[in-house]
Amino acid sequence: MAVVFVLWLREVKKYLRSRVQIVASLGGPLMYLGVLGFGLGPVFQRAGEGSYLQFMAPGVIGMAVLFTAMFSGIAMLWDRQFGFLKETLVAPVPRLAIMIGRTLGGATVAVLQGTLIFVVTLIAGFRPVSVLAVPLAFLLIALVAVVFAALATAIGSTIKEMQGFQMVMNFLVMPIFFLSGALYPLPGLPRVLAALTRVDPLTYGVDGMRGLLIGRGSAHFGVAFDVAVLLAVGVVFVAAGAWRFSKIEA
Amino acid sequence: MSDRPILRVQHIAKSFGTVLAVNDVSFDVRPGEIFAFLGPNGAGKTTTIKMLTTLLRPTTGSLELDGLDVTMHPTEVRKRFGVVFQDPSLDSELTAWENMDIHGVLYHVARHARRARCEVLLRMFELYERRDDLVKTFSGGMKRRLEIARGLLHTPKVLFLDEPTLGLDPQSRNQMWTHVRNLRATEGVTVFLTTHYMDEADRVADRIAVIDHGRIVATGSSAELKQQTGTDSLEAAFLALTGTMIRDESATAADQMRQVARVWRR
């Protein structure tokens, strides 16, 4: 337990110390909120869908959580090449404890980043339907964070080179974001796209957040279904992460 | 000195695909001695250290540390050694104290003992004043000292040092060896080290093993090696044993990553 805690604490401390990185990481979401949010707002409104900012805020929060959680995978590549990973691998502790500490740390950082973006959306004009829904939304955000931090651990344990991670960013993380319905409504999509959005775990995260934060009618699948899917995917990804991490050779 | 070796290596071999990196290596290290493991690049030094430190499993042969089989009881063995790898393994975004403290938790050192021990070691390695500074602000020599201090935190019986003076200036190297020699007196720890600096091995090591092409080509004290080869310096003895041909190592993925990182860090 102490081992899990100390490795978790390490991730959180490093995040809180990296002020520049925190500010830099606001850039992407701010761009989407500012440029797309206000730029596409009038069209969205004319199509009879209401406020686009209101609609996309959960998507942008989901984006921040996804990117930050996946970034913990790249942090593992750094740790692998610049040493710290080895220090933990020769320690007399189970690999599983190390993996869980790291993954929970990465997930916590993602939740913190999600919180920051949530505050930014509030400033931009996003208004959740009820204050009571916010804590529930955070449980969902935490679940999304664990799902992707575990995926990042699995990937970070498998690939060894930075170039590999660029592939992951372009062919995995970006599609996960764009296919999640973070930026567009899910009903009425062309078949292929609809099918793709359904295999994307983030879809359920964003959908669930919408259901909680902007009203029941706005969840396409329903919050309960979203949570169920995320829990199932989370179990699979954590297992995959633990398995891949146990196979690392120094 | 007890007569049971603290490290016993018997006929170990390690192959990667068709490459035989270590080929039938055997040696013993006695408790409390400083044992130098020398060899040209690519001779099998690092592979041997990785096997001794449970990071790699030998293809054949047996390894014992403090009477425990390394492959059978990796966790027990890990508690008994400290290691400073060739590449730094500190977290440079954390302070010296935090690096020490995490290590203590990983090795199950109780909180109270951990604090006391961190303080003693940081003082011994002259880092106590800088304990709350981020490691990234440290010089190369300070980082190495911190790694050694950290490796000793859980009071190991054996300390592995893989080229601890690589890339350090002569002052830091000199200081490093003073520290290492003092360890036996203060910590009673057995030191297993590798280095490319023959004069350093000559000065600090009680016994030396020379490995080349995956095989041990000589073992003995510095004086014995010189006598055996009819030379008057350890460097000459080393060259007599391993030849003068230059060994090329192919760049590994790790080397390439390091290069990328150097560019990124600017």
Interval B245-251 mean pLDDT: 60
For B214-235, give one letter per residue: b (16+ CB within 10 A) or e.
bbbbbbeebeebbeebebeebe
Q: Which helix (H) or strand (E) holds B63?
A: strand B60-65
Question: CB–CB of A157/A244 below 8 Å?
Answer: yes
pLDDT-derived band at B143, boundaries 50, 70, 90: very high
Chain A contact present for B252, CB below 8 A: no
Residues of chain A found within 8 Å of residue B50, distances taken between Cβ atoms? 250
What pLDDT, on the 0 to 100 scale, is given for residue A166? Answer: 81
Query: Max alpha carbon distance in chain A (Å)?
Result: 62
Question: CB–CB of A189/A110 below 8 Å?
Answer: no
Nearest-CB residue to A91 (from B106, B253, B257): B106
What pLDDT, on the 0 to 100 scale, is given for residue A137? Answer: 94
Query: What is the four-CA torsion angle of A114, A115, A117, A121, rounded to 10 degrees?
Result: 130
Of residues A196 and B251, the one with the higher pLDDT is: A196
pTM value?
Answer: 0.86
pLDDT of residue A46 exceeding 90, the answer is no
Most A-contacting residue of B111, B257, B263, B264 (CB-CB within 10 A), to test interface: B257
Of residues A248 and A111, the one with the higher pLDDT is: A111
Strands B19-29 and B7-16 come out as antiparallel
Question: CB–CB of B158/B6 below 8 Å?
Answer: yes
The span from the CA of B108 to the CA of A85, in Å, is: 18
The span from the CA of B237 to the CA of B226, in Å, is: 5
For chain B, what percent of residues have pLDDT higher than 70?
A: 90
Residues of chain B found within 8 Å of residue A79, distances taken between Cβ atoms? 91
pLDDT tens track for A78-90: 888 777 898 998 9
pLDDT of residue B82 exceeding 70, the answer is yes
Structure tokens at B265: 């860090």
| Residue of chain B whose alpha carbon sits nearest to that of A18 | B93
Most B-contacting residue of A21, A87, A89, A249 (CB-CB within 10 A), to test interface: A87
Contact across the interface for B105 and A6, Cβ inside 8 Å? yes
| Residue of chain A whose alpha carbon sits nearest to that of B77 | A92
Contact across the interface for A161 and B90, Cβ inside 8 Å? no
Per the document, the length of chain B is 266
pLDDT-derived band at B182, boundaries 50, 70, 90: confident
Structure tokens at A150: 């575990």
Beta strands across the sheet bearing B190-194: B81-84, B158-162, B190-194, B34-38, B207-212, B215-220
Most B-contacting residue of A81, A158, A159 (CB-CB within 10 A), to test interface: A81
Interval A90-111 mean pLDDT: 94
What pLDDT, on the 0 to 100 scale, is given for residue B243? Answer: 77
Q: Is A95 helix (H, G, I), strand (E, B) or coil?
A: helix
| CA triple A123-A125-A127, angle to 5 deg | 105
Q: Determine the distance in angstroms separating the CA of B174 from the nearest CA of chain A, rounded to an integer.
A: 25
In terms of DSSP H, where are the helices of B74-229?
74-80, 96-106, 111-124, 140-152, 170-187, 198-204, 222-229
User: Within the 46-65 window of chain B, which residues sit less than 8 Å (CB to CB) from chain A?
Assistant: 50, 53-56
The span from the CA of A231 to the CA of B121, in Å, is: 46
